[in-house]
């Protein structure tokens, strides 16, 4: 099967043998694809190598052969966002999530659009945590495992003053009043869930309450095996402390 002038976002690239690259991309029409880019080293291939770096937006031609597609052409369509520090790590994180959770050769146009949006937000000045929580929400929705953020698992409206655990399969579950305050700190506020449902940024404390619960949901769908980017973020925070 030929693939012609397909738009895609580059997720990852690694060397293969002496002169080639194995590249993972997220496409609009074909989902996540693995590309074999042969003979990309040398001064005449500098533009092609640059186009195949992570976070690049490209159009490409390829021929599917088994699980991998043989790359024939790739051209950058814009300049990848220039990310530094935590934003650069966030770029690695969103790509790693897609690599781990999106099946190959399964078109997910909603995920493609969500990735394009968060890519622009990472370089656009929006608070980093809010960009990532929105992408995580959209990723779950695109994969068919999202929630109704305005109601609990048993159909009750979310109370903005309450705290909630996110059950990976059932959705928000309200904290029972008799549980300790220590547990409350690790649960999402109702105000944060409603803000996520309405796509409006919550207050800082509410926004930070989403992170541990979203991570727990993602870890479930990752089969209990965490992400390298989480480890890198932990190392970064340790060095800062």
The whole-angstrom separation of Cα 224 and Cα 106 is: 23
| 2-76 and 86-240, same CATH topology | no
Give Cα 67 to chain centroid, integer Å.
23
What is the SS3 assignment for 237? helix
- Strand partners of residue 34: 24, 68
Looking at residue 49, what is its pLDDT?
87
Place of tokens 């608070």: 127
Q: What is the CATH number assigned to the segment(s) 2-76?
A: 2.40.50.140
Show me where the domains of the chain are located: 2-76, 86-240
Looking at residue 46, what is its pLDDT?
82
Looking at residue 241, what is its pLDDT?
42
Within the chain, what is the greatest distance between any pair of CA atoms?
Answer: 68
| Model pTM score | 0.92
Counting other chains too, the contacts that 38-41 makes at CB distance below 8 Å and 24 or more residues apart are: 38/70, 38/71
Closest CA to 190 of 210, 204, 170, 176: 210
Q: Which residues of the chain have pLDDT under 70?
A: 177-183, 234-241
The token pair at 64 is: 């599917």
Say yes or no: domain 86-240 is CATH 1.20.1440.120: yes
CB-based contacts of 169: which residues, under 8 Å, 6+ apart? 145
Other beta carbons less than 10 A from residue 147's beta carbon: 22
**Angle formed at CA 192 by CA 191 and CA 193, multiple of 5 degrees:** 95
Give me the DSSP letters along 86-152. HHHHHHHHHHHHHHHHSPBT---HHHHHHHHHHHHHHTTTS-HHHHHHHHHHHHHHHTT----TTB-
Alpha-carbon separation of residue 126 from 97, 141, 218 (angstroms): 20, 22, 23
């Amino acid at each position: 099967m030929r693939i012609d002038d397909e738009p895609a976002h580059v997720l990852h690239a690694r060397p293969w043998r002496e002169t080639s690259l194995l590249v993972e991309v997220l496409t609009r029409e074909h989902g996540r694809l693995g590309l074999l880019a042969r003979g990309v080293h040398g001064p005449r291939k500098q533009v092609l190598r640059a186009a195949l770096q992570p976070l690049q937006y490209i159009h490409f031609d390829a021929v599917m052969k088994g699980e991998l597609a043989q790359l024939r052409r790739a051209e950058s369509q814009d300049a990848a966002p220039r990310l530094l520090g935590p934003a650069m790590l966030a770029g690695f994180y969103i790509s790693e999530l897609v690599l781990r959770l999106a099946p190959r050769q399964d078109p997910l146009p909603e995920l493609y659009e969500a990735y394009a949006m968060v890519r622009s937000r990472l370089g656009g000045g929006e608070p980093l945590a809010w960009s990532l929580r929105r992408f995580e929400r959209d990723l779950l929705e695109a994969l068919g495992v999202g929630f109704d953020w305005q109601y609990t698992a048993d159909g009750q409206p979310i109370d903005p003053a309450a705290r909630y655990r996110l059950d990976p399969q059932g959705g928000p579950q309200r904290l029972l009043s008799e549980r300790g305050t220590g547990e409350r700190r690790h649960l999402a506020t109702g105000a944060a869930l409603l803000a996520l449902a309405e796509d409006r940024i919550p207050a800082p404390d509410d926004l930070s309450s989403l992170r541990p619960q979203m991570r727990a949901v993602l870890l479930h769908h990752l089969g209990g095996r965490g992400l390298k980017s989480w480890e890198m973020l932990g190392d970064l925070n340790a060095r800062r402390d």
